[in-house]
């Protein structure tokens, strides 16, 4: 159940200070145009009074207006300003503002004059107060090329009017603008310019005054009649319609979101544009009609209209007598539109009427229906019938075969062939044909063409219409081999001579074959994706990638190799051409997986006549894809391929390469090149006589690639297999300290490596630097993540350290911080390659609290030179590491639990815990900007504490502690621990707006203590919840903890106060939502910034749930002179929500005695059953009145809390009067 607690302001300053409530969130987002009709005009039914304002234009200067804001019968408060927030008027709703002097205003909403606010659906309206009413129902009729008719209705008893017709874009007429006088409620404008935009205005003449001008009624004069058009919509900018095309959107059921626009996102026929007719959520009686240009021959009975369309609704094609909102539409034919783009023809030879416009009316049976139309052609209806089903079933390098279906009994045809840029077949030289199949000769290889076909009747004198174009590409010249990595083309294009075939009875418009770069398959950055959307690729639908034309496919000497990724089924086969009508013949079916895998298809058994290799997607599931990369057509070697090429070890100057021979060969070549190498034939290779080879002469910490091939008798070499990438080792280091903060996210620092391997390892398992979780030092940490693959057994996610020269000495240790509950295995590894062998030293169980772990390697004397950290968890395990240190294992034990306590303005006490028998320690401290204890100021101590003196006030410091044993035997520096010295006490007035803080840190003069297991206070900036509640910029914030209750304190800077003087503290507080979660906040004061020293109660807010910023102002005194700190204690239960505090101010109180100085509150409001009232002094009586002054409830009390049962009262507004200490307070509440 929602609960809203309204806390009344206790100390009211000057009323005018609260009566001008400026809001910052514009809602509605658009500027509202005043219609000035004299009736209430709704602005919104969902305004909030928390921070909303509305902007209203078209205010009639000098006129009076009424503005309202209400919810459930309760009137709210409105502040009216100009656009610069200068106050014009303010007051309770309904608010009347006389003689407004600007034409645009802002309306700021609040619950009351004190600027309180609430969420919920407040209704807001505006209304001009008129004595001379505005004309109503203005309409534009009979729009011709040079004239237009207008009509309207009288708004009152007036009998005279003035009209204006102005070019569109002219300034709006004002009160002093004169128009043409008329005495009838109609007007005809003449001498207009054809195809020009105008606006029409009318106002009433009431004798002694004029009404405001009506809102502009826009219209466009008609174009000259034309005899033909061919509109592709490609020459206009979206969403505009072409010149002389119009949209008619009308009817009581029309949605304001319905529309007719030119769009470029839904391909229909010619690219890039089409026109969209969309009804949005229209229902019932409405029209969405696209209107053609004015036609001079519509009634001649000689023409037809042709167009392409696709969509999910039917169309009515008909005629119209105009293009205004009053034009009449007459249906000629109903067209059933399908999802597939189709050309439709509507014959107008039987039409002999007087209409001069063609209309396309959306005839939808449901809401949210659209139809897309393209390439609309108005042409003479030929007597020779159209051919249909033009197809190009075969193409050669210089030929193409074209087929079609005759339209009737004709026996002759003509073809027009042009380049891809040709659009008019009449400009091309026709080729005659006496058959419905024609072979085109003399073409150029790998060239795009268009072809049209028309019928020829009456001995070739009566030509039918050109039908087409159908596009095709002539074949590439045959090639003997190819190696395609798709990296040299721009996504989503395919390389030259590669083609796609997308066909089938249920093929989706969204099925694609594209070059993509969003995931690396083998060579970076590109691969090719075959995607089926909702196509049935396991059935009759085809998604096929076709190779270049091959000269040797049938020779039985070659093979196809490629890399693939994603689980699915792929059919590899052959095709007789690369056209949409080509025949696909399956040669081999391959089951692919999520692991990047190289596949080989041997075509040595193929001896057919096809000349293209093809990849057909054969996936059973919808919305799936397979990615291909590095497709190679090569001679099938007689010397077998090696397999399992791996780099088993690296050194600073070399690497060990292993492989498995492919047959009985006993010699191999190994080629190593830089990471940029792509062709092993250009590299110098070395020869190996066994299945392993040590490569020397390399450079440390450098990326390389390696290939291996078999060598058989004579010069018979196998294929190069690879590349396998590797990095040589870094020069060994004795120690390291890595905080990952100087590394770009997504990478690893130099000399650190990731091993992600295993039979079922996820492709999304990863080790990389991240910046979105705090572990120890900010901003970065390294994440080990296994995705859906368990790493408790055969799969590995291992972070490998730099190469170490000291690992086997048995004198070092590893330290690191980790967060997230899980398990880590710490060990050694013999190399940083994927074939490295991991050896466990110790297992560590991590927690959800950032913790430092120390692993001793004093017992390790093995040969490994790398430390490794292995993730040991089930699926979706993730652990973050930070501040990983390899250091000498000190003989003097580490201290622990270093803390800075007893901080003052110039000193701090530092404590720690000894973990050995040492009796001396050193404390080092520096400014917080310094992170190296070697630069610290040192203080020696023979006790487990030390006092640092001479510190600067209001300054951040770092402190470390180390143990001191015999001689110069020191323990490790433990730290840093950061602390702030207190700021010098502030005088009055004191204020804290948290703007000096660097989020999530606190202001330098503030401090925080977390006494619980929940979160601590922090500063946030412009978070969504804070902004919604009315807290902008930087705000003190408590973030809820799902599992742990809050007990977090924030303390202000000290403030010097005196006994016997009245003081006031004010601040804003609140939460982020009206919901089932409530937050608790306590405010206190005391002589030191600790919870134990907070002795003065200021306020206690139990159950904060308003979702808005609440302004508080409380008077208080102190018992003695001194420095006082103000504490804000978040003590919410676990799993609640956010608490915000801002704009804290302390000053001398200016209040007068009385109830206003007491802390009074009442809640909930609205109330359903019991209303609770609280006050600092005892409440003596409570009375409840209805809105006509009848007293309904009297309750006598003598307590600081009074509960009034209002459950028996009807819903509505009531006045509650509370009396305490002889003073009264009256408030209004809403009963629900």
Identify the pLDDT of residue 568.
95
Q: Decide if pLDDT at 4 tops 70.
A: no
What is the per-residue pLDDT across 643-678, written as a single tens digit (0 to 9) for each? 999 998 899 999 999 999 988 898 999 999 999 998
What is the per-residue pLDDT across 929-988, written as a single tens digit (0 to 9) for each? 898 899 999 999 999 999 999 999 989 999 999 999 987 889 889 988 989 898 999 988
Residue ranges of E strands in 111-232:
122-129, 136-141, 148-153, 160-167, 180-182, 186-189, 197-205, 217-220, 229-231
Paired with 400 in beta bridges are: 395, 440
Identify the pLDDT of residue 1155.
42
Q: Which of 359, 380, 401 marks a domain boundary?
A: 380
Identify the pLDDT of residue 13.
26
Q: Collapsing DSSP states into helix, strand and coil, what is residue 17?
A: helix
Question: How many domains is the chain built from?
Answer: 10
List, edge to edge, every strand of the sheet that includes 148-153: 136-141, 148-153, 186-189
Residues 6 or more apart whose CB falls under 8 angstroms from that of 1189 comprise none
Q: Which of 129, 150, 184 marks a domain boundary?
A: 129
What is the per-residue pLDDT across 673-699, written as a single tens digit (0 to 9) for each? 999 998 899 999 999 999 999 999 999
- Both 1130 and 1009 in one domain: the answer is yes
Which CATH number does the domain housing residue 1181 bear? 2.60.40.1220
Read off φ and ψ for residue 184, nearest 5 degrees: -125, 160
What does the mean pLDDT of the chain come to? Answer: 91
What is the per-residue pLDDT across 136-174, written as a single tens digit (0 to 9) for each? 999 998 888 899 999 999 988 899 999 999 999 999 898
Q: Collapsing DSSP states into helix, strand and coil, what is residue 982?
A: coil
Q: Collapsing DSSP states into helix, strand and coil, what is residue 431?
A: strand
Q: Collapsing DSSP states into helix, strand and coil, what is residue 299?
A: helix
Identify the pLDDT of residue 1151.
39
- Both 526 and 618 in one domain: the answer is yes
Residue 891 domain flag: no
Q: Decide if pLDDT at 348 tops 70.
A: yes
Residue 8 domain flag: no
Residue 1073 domain flag: yes
Rounded distance between C-alpha atoms, residue 153 and residue 137, angstroms = 6
Residue labelled with tokens 């002999």 = 352
Query: Which stretch of 323-327, 753-757, 1196-1200 has the lowest confidence by average pLDDT?
Result: 1196-1200
Identify the pLDDT of residue 1189.
60
- Both 996 and 1142 in one domain: the answer is yes
Q: For CA atoms 507, 513, 517, 519, give the dihedral sign.
A: positive
Q: What is the pLDDT averaged over residues 2-26?
A: 46
Q: Collapsing DSSP states into helix, strand and coil, what is residue 962?
A: strand
What is the per-residue pLDDT across 175-225, written as a single tens digit (0 to 9) for each? 889 999 999 999 999 999 988 999 999 999 999 999 999 988 888 898 999
- Both 995 and 1138 in one domain: the answer is yes
- Both 562 and 600 in one domain: the answer is yes
Instruction: List C-alpha distances in Å: 64 to 38, 174, 206, 915.
Output: 10, 15, 17, 83
For the record, the structure tokens of 812 come out as 């070092």
- Residue 1187's Cβ-count burial label (10 Å; 0-12, 13-18, 19+) is exposed
Q: Decide if pLDDT at 1162 tops 80.
A: no
Residue 182 domain flag: yes
Q: Decide if pLDDT at 461 tops 90.
A: no
Residue 504, Ramachandran bin (φ over 0: left; ψ between -120 and 50: alpha; else beta):
left
Identify the pLDDT of residue 9.
28
Identify the pLDDT of residue 12.
28
Q: Collapsing DSSP states into helix, strand and coil, what is residue 487?
A: coil
pLDDT band at 1176 (very low <50, low <70, confident <90, very high): confident
Q: What is the pLDDT averaged over residues 742-749?
A: 94
Q: Decide if pLDDT at 66 tops 90.
A: yes
Q: Decide if pLDDT at 64 tops 80.
A: yes
Q: Decide if pLDDT at 71 tops 80.
A: yes
Rounded distance between C-alpha atoms, residue 854 and residue 893, angstroms = 12
- Both 373 and 415 in one domain: the answer is no
Instruction: Show the 3-state SS of 382-405.
Output: CCCCCCEEEEEEEECCCCEEEEEE
- Residue 178's Cβ-count burial label (10 Å; 0-12, 13-18, 19+) is exposed
Residue 658 domain flag: yes
- Structural domain including 656 reads 643-727
Which CATH number does the domain housing residue 290 bear? 2.60.120.200
Q: Decide if pLDDT at 796 tops 90.
A: yes
Identify the pLDDT of residue 1150.
52
- Both 420 and 368 in one domain: the answer is no
Spell out a b/e string for 959-986, using b for 16 or more CB atoms within 10 Å of the CB, else e.
Answer: bbbbbbbeeeebbbbbbbbebbbbbebb
Residues 6 or more apart whose CB falls under 8 angstroms from that of 52 comprise 23, 25, 26, 27, 108, 109, 122
- Residue 513's Cβ-count burial label (10 Å; 0-12, 13-18, 19+) is buried
Residue 532 domain flag: yes
Q: Decide if pLDDT at 14 tops 70.
A: no
Rounded distance between C-alpha atoms, residue 465 and residue 457, angstroms = 11
* Pairing between β-strand 74-75 and β-strand 685-688 as defined by DSSP bridges: unpaired
Q: Collapsing DSSP states into helix, strand and coil, what is residue 332?
A: strand
Residue 750 domain flag: no
Q: What angle do CA 38, 39, 45 make, to 5 degrees?
A: 135
What is the per-residue pLDDT across 629-642, written as a single tens digit (0 to 9) for each? 999 999 998 899 99
Instruction: Yes or no: say if 111 and 77 are a contact pair by the CB < 8 Å rule.
Output: yes
What is the per-residue pLDDT across 499-548, written as a single tens digit (0 to 9) for each? 999 999 999 988 999 999 988 898 889 999 999 999 999 999 999 999 99
Please give the residue that has the higher pLDDT: either 989 or 1094: 1094
What is the per-residue pLDDT across 702-737, written as a single tens digit (0 to 9) for each? 999 999 999 998 778 888 998 898 999 999 999 999
Residues 6 or more apart whose CB falls under 8 angstroms from that of 1013 comprise 1041, 1044, 1045
Residue labelled with tokens 């009639």 = 60
Identify the pLDDT of residue 767.
97
Q: What is the pLDDT averaged over residues 794-803?
A: 96
- Both 1168 and 1137 in one domain: the answer is no
Paired with 1159 in beta bridges are: none
- Both 454 and 602 in one domain: the answer is no
Residue 354 domain flag: yes
Residue in 392, 578, 524 with CA at minimum distance from that of residue 469: 392
Instruction: Show the 3-state SS of 676-744.
Output: CCCCHHHCCEEEECCCEEEECCCCCCCEEEEEEEEECCCCCECCCEEEEEEECCCCCECCEEECCCCCC
- Both 1119 and 1008 in one domain: the answer is yes
Instruction: Show the 3-state SS of 849-862.
Output: CCEEEEEECCCCCC
Identify the pLDDT of residue 406.
95
- Both 655 and 629 in one domain: the answer is no
Q: Which of 635, 657, 673 marks a domain boundary?
A: 635
- Residue 83's Cβ-count burial label (10 Å; 0-12, 13-18, 19+) is exposed
- Both 121 and 166 in one domain: the answer is no
Which CATH number does the domain housing residue 797 bear? 2.60.120
Which CATH number does the domain housing residue 669 bear? 2.60.40.10
Q: What is the pLDDT averaged over residues 301-314?
A: 94
């Amino acid at each position: 159940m929602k609960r809203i607690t309204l806390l009344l302001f206790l100390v009211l300053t000057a009323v005018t200070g609260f009566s001008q409530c400026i809001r910052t969130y514009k809602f509605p987002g658009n500027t509202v145009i005043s219609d000035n009709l004299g009736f209430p005009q709704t602005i919104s039914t969902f305004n909030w009074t928390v921070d909303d304002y509305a902007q209203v234009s078209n205010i009639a200067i000098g006129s009076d207006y009424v503005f309202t804001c209400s919810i459930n019968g309760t009137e709210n408060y409105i502040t009216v300003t100009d656009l610069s927030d200068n106050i014009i008027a303010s007051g309770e709703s309904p608010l009347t503002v006389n003689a407004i002097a600007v034409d645009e205003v802002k309306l700021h909403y609040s619950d009351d004059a004190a600027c309180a606010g609430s969420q919920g659906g407040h209704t807001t309206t505006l209304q001009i107060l008129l004595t001379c009413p505005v004309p109503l129902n203005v309409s534009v009729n009979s729009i011709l090329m040079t004239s237009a008719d207008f009509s309207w209705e009288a708004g009152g008893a007036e009998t005279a009017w003035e009209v204006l017709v102005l070019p569109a874009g002219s300034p709006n007429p004002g009160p002093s603008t004169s128009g043409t006088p008329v005495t009838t409620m109609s007007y005809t404008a003449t001498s207009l310019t054809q195809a020009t935009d105008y606006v029409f205005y009318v106002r009433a003449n009431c004798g002694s005054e004029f009404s405001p001008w009506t809102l502009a009624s826009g219209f466009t004069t008609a174009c000259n009649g034309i005899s033909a058009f061919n509109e592709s919509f490609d020459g206009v900018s979206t969403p505009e319609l072409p010149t002389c095309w119009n949209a008619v959107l009308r009817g009581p059921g029309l949605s304001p979101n319905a529309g007719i626009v030119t769009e470029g996102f839904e391909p229909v026929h010619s690219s890039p544009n089409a026109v969209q007719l969309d009804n949005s959520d229209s229902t019932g009686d409405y029209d969405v009609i696209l209107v053609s240009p004015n036609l001079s021959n519509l009634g001649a009975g000689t023409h037809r209209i042709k167009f392409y369309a696709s969509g999910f609704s039917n169309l009515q094609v008909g005629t119209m007598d105009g293009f205004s909102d009053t034009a009449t539409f007459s249906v000629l034919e109903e067209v059933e539109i399908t999802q597939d783009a189709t050309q439709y023809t509507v014959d107008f030879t039987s039409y002999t009427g007087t209409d001069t416009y063609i209309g396309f009316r959306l005839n939808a049976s449901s809401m949210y229906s659209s139809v897309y139309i393209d390439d609309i052609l108005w042409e003479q209806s030929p007597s020779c019938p159209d051919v249909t089903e033009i197809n190009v079933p075969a193409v050669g390098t210089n030929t193409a075969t074209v087929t079609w279906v005759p339209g009737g009994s004709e026996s002759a045809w003509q073809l027009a062939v042009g380049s891809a840029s040709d659009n008019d077949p009449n400009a091309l030289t026709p080729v005659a044909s006496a058959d419905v199949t024609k072979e085109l000769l003399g073409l150029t290889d790998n060239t795009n063409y268009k072809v049209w076909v028309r019928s020829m009747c009456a001995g070739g004198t009566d030509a039918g219409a050109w039908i087409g174009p159908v596009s095709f590409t002539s074949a590439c010249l045959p090639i003997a081999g190819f190696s395609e990595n798709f990296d040299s083309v721009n996504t989503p294009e395919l390389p030259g001579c590669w083609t796609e075939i997308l066909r089938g009875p249920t093929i989706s418009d969204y099925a694609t074959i594209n070059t993509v770069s969003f995931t690396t398959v083998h060579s970076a950055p590109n691969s090719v994706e075959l995607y089926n959307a909702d196509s049935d690729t396991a059935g009759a639908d085809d998604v096929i990638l076709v190779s270049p034309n091959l000269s040797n496919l049938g020779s039985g000497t070659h093979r196809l190799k490629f890399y693939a990724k994603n689980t699915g089924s792929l059919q590899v086969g052959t095709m007789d051409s690369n056209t949409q009508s080509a025949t696909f013949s399956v040669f081999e079916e391959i089951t692919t997986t999520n692991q990047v895998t190289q596949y080989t298809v041997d075509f040595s058994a193929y001896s057919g006549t096809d000349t293209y290799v093809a990849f057909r997607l054969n996936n059973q599931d919808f919305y799936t894809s397979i990615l291909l990369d590095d497709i190679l057509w090569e001679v099938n070697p007689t010397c077998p391929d090696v397999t399992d090429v791996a780099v088993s070890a690296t050194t600073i100057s070399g690497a060990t390469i292993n492989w498995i021979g492919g047959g009985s060969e006993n010699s191999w070549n190994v080629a190593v090149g830089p990471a940029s190498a792509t062709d092993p034939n250009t590299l110098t290779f070395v020869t190996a006589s066994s299945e392993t080879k040590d490569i020397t002469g390399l450079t440390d910490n450098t990326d390389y690639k390696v290939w291996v091939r078999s060598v058989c008798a004579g010069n018979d070499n196998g294929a190069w297999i690879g590349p396998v990438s590797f990095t040589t080792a870094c020069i060994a280091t004795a120690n390291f300290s890595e905080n990952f903060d100087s590394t770009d996210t997504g990478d690893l620092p130099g000399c650190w490596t990731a091993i992600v391997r295993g039979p079922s390892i996820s492709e999304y398992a990863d080790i990389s630097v991240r910046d979105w979780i705090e572990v120890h030092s900010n901003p970065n940490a390294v994440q080990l993540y296994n995705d859906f693959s368990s790493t408790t057994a055969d799969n590995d996610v291992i972070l490998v350290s730099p190469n170490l020269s000291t690992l086997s000495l048995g004198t070092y240790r590893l330290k690191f911080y980790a967060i997230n509950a899980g398990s880590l295995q710490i060990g050694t590894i013999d190399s940083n390659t994927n074939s490295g062998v991991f050896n466990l030293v110790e297992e560590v169980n991590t927690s959800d609290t950032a913790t430092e772990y120390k692993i001793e390697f004093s017992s390790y004397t093995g040969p490994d030179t790398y430390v490794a950290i292995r993730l040991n968890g089930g699926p979706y395990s993730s652990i973050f590491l930070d501040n990983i240190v390899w250091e000498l294992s000190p003989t003097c034990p580490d201290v622990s639990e270093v803390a800075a306590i007893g901080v003052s303005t110039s000193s701090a006490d530092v404590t720690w815990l000894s973990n050995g028998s040492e009796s001396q320690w050193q404390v080092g401290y520096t400014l917080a900007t310094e992170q190296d204890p070697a630069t610290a100021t040192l203080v020696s101590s023979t006790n487990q504490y030390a006092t640092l003196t001479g510190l600067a006030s209001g300054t951040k410091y770092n402190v470390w502690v180390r143990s001191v044993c015999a001689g110069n035997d020191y323990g490790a520096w433990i730290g840093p621990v950061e602390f702030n010295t207190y700021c010098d006490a502030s005088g009055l007035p004191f204020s804290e707006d948290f703007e000096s803080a660097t989020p999530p840190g606190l202001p330098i003069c503030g401090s925080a203590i977390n006494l619980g297991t929940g979160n601590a206070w922090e500063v946030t900036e412009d978070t969504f919840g804070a902004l919604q509640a009315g807290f902008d910029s930087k705000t003190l914030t408590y973030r809820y903890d799902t599992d742990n209750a809050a007990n977090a304190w924030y303390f202000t800077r000290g403030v010097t106060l005196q006994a016997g003087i009245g003081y006031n503290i004010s601040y804003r507080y609140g939460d982020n939502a009206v919901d089932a979660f409530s937050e608790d906040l306590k405010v206190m004061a005391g002589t030191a910034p600790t919870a134990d020293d907070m002795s003065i109660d200021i306020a206690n807010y139990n159950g904060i749930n308003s979702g808005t910023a609440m302004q508080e102002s409380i008077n208080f005194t102190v018992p003695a002179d001194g420095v006082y700190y103000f504490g804000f204690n978040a003590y919410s239960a676990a799993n609640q929500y956010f608490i915000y505090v801002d704009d804290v101010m302390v000053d001398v109180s200016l209040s007068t005695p009385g109830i206003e100085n007491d802390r009074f509150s009442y809640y909930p409001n609205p109330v359903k059953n019991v209303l609770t009232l609280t006050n600092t002094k005892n409440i003596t009586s409570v009375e409840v009145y209805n809105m006509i002054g009848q007293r309904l409830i009297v309750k006598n009390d003598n307590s600081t809390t009074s509960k009034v049962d209002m459950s028996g009262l009807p819903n509505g507004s009531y006045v509650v009067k509370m009396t305490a200490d002889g003073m009264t307070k009256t408030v209004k509440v809403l009963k629900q």
